[in-house]
Structure 1
Amino acid sequence: MNNLCKLWTFLFCVLILTIITESSTLNWFEAQKQCRGKGGLTIKKNMSDQSYWTGRYRRITPWIKIKGCFSDSFISNISTDMYINVSMWKKAVGICQEICQRKNITVFAVKGSECVCIKSVGRTPWPASADPSNCNFQCQNTSNIYKNECGGNSSYNVFEFVSDIKDRNQRCLSLQCSPKDKKFIPELCSKSLRKLCHFQVGSSSEFAGWIDAMKHCKSANEPSYLFGDINLHNAAAACNQTSINPNYFGQMWIGVAGQTYFNKDDGLEFEEKEKQSFIKCQTCNQTKCEYRKCDETINNTVFCARQNIITAQTSRPSSVMVTTFVETKTSPNKPITSTSKYITRYTTDTTDTTDHKIVSEDVSASATGLRIGKCLVVLVGYKNRLF
């Protein structure tokens, strides 16, 4: 009897192993998908000696237009059902933009770690922008674009983003207003151009990169920002919004740019079009962390923020454990379960309660019996890879 059971078990294992291959490797988005509703991918380091994806990533925003610096009273005068107030884990224009984009709101305000998504100002008129010195909070986890525009003690920096413009080969935007060729031109932010400040009549003769041009506008006799409250879908209309010196129609920096920033995963779904804005995603192991392309695949375990380990949800299993028992009395054709404690622990982590893992406990809910002849073969299979 025992020899027969062993033979059936051997043949069954051969059959199973012929259809089992190693689990697929995962890119960041595939790993992140497994942690939706579980707090997102972990941001902890030293979770494994093998590289694994963490929840940290670097993105670039759509075009963001700066509208100005506005006092607290501007927000307080807006009806409470016309805006959504959210707390950010880091002070960053890009993080606030990402939050509001998920809510389909394009106008947003930043004051330190406070993010306000403004659906509409309603009947509240837009006031004149305050002196930029009132908005002197520095942002965190960002590039130098909008690094000093995170509001102030009693003021908000207000922005608006435009996500339907595809020409994003550079990170800063200029405007050309020549009579026969009015257009927006994305440029390297370091390129030296004249600037168009909000309160400035005509363009300055000074040439500078985008960041220095913004500083010059803020330190002018009449302080302001680069002119950003502008129509990005119509260059001719944008030129009409400005008071351009008739003797100059060349390129000018305007208050429109894309910010690169770092953020962490919170377990929400990203649409396909959003994935294009991801620059790098972080991997870690016990010795180091590094950023790599998010669509790069690595053979990894998935660690979620609210669950120490889960398996990578791939279509191919990577490990099967088969244990044999002599058959006892059971009803015909009734599924057989076992309460045996012979199943080996696959991990020392007992805090993870996911049903994708087997621990050294009563396995009646996770071990399924298959009767072959007079033998009971208990198959414990993983849909996915644990290690």
Structure 2
Amino acid sequence: MLKRLRFKFIVLNMSCVALVLALLCVVICTINYQSTLDHVQRSLDLAINHAEDPRTKFHGPKEQDGEPVPLEIGGEKSDMSVPVAAFILQPDGTLEEIPSKTTASIASDVLEQATQDVMDAPDGYGQLPKLSLMYEKRMANDVILLAFTDLSYVNTWHSLALYLAGASVLALAVLLVINIFFARWALKPVASAWQQQRQFVADASHDLKTPLTVILANTSILLEHPEKSIASQTQWVDSTQHEAQHMQALVNDLLLLAKLDEEQAATNGPLLQETISEKLDLSDVVEGELLQFESVAFERDIEMENEIEPNLEVTGNVVRLCRVVSTLIDNACKYTHPGQRVTVTLTKSGRFAKLSVNNTGTIISAEDLPHIFDRFYRADKARTRDAGGHGLGLAIAQSIAHEHKGSLSAKSNEREGTTFTLTLPLAL
């Protein structure tokens, strides 16, 4: 799938570039052809005009004592730089050359054939491709004025087109190589998203498969002994209820993640504004969650310390922020050994409220630390469920933090233990 997408990406890019280059070449060649044609026609006009009226001022090379004088650099420009052969065709069929306006020669047989070809042609410009000539014909009283020039001057765009085509092919080859590398780089986020999606589906299936297997096994046992009372089968009923509750929690978390993704996609949209428009006291939220975990800490022989700066207000959804704080404290309690300490600190840092939850228990390895906010990720590779949960808590907490324009980070080492830091902008 990714290879096909990369191929389409490259083909689309190269097609667009090729189309632009082709249009550019056509425009350049058209401009060149029109410019050259105008210049050649102007040269033919000058020759005809001078032959028609010798008093017409000639803007070509100046003459002195019958000899041409080179053009002066920076001086008057010549309008007749294209070699032209000018003739007057008399009524009796005699063809006379106009020496003062002829700057090119034509072979007699070519001239004879060209004269015959243009006799029946209308006045104006024309081309004789077989003779490689361009001409202008004009009737003046009882004579015909003719001017000829080489057609190759008009067709210089042919060589220009070849040069442009070669340059375009070379440019396309270079761009193709660049596009191949660029496509790999540009599609890395797509490849990562697909990989995460596949992993997400696999992990969700795994977490749903286990309770379903237990529930099916329990119901099979119950069906094998229909004569027994419910009281005697409490073990299997309780197990089924426990697994069903686990599935319910998982499904609820998946729905919450989907909703968070939807709200983050609609940045500043109505849905997002509705969910985080409430001003609340974060200090009260943290203190409330700490009270909920005092009994848990007591049962596990964990020392709870806190330092809460009062009256720190933020804008957000109180239910979701309670979920974040609860997740961080619960995580710290789960991975703190009896007799050790969990420290919760809430302080003001500039325009932000900063919540830190530190525990001195099991640290997170450097290998696992970059992935702890991934969905379904657990540091234990066997994905045991002994600690409870299903690997979505921190992913949800980070999504909620981002939804509130904040951040959630973690660091872990032997000296300081593990610290999760939630940063949220203070309410204005």
TM-score interval for Structure 1 and Structure 2 normalised by the shorter chain:
under 0.3
- Between Structure 1 and Structure 2, whose CA radius of gyration is higher? 2
**Greater helix share, structure number:** 2
**Greater strand share, structure number:** 1
Q: Which has the higher contact order (CA 8 A, sep 6+)?
A: 1
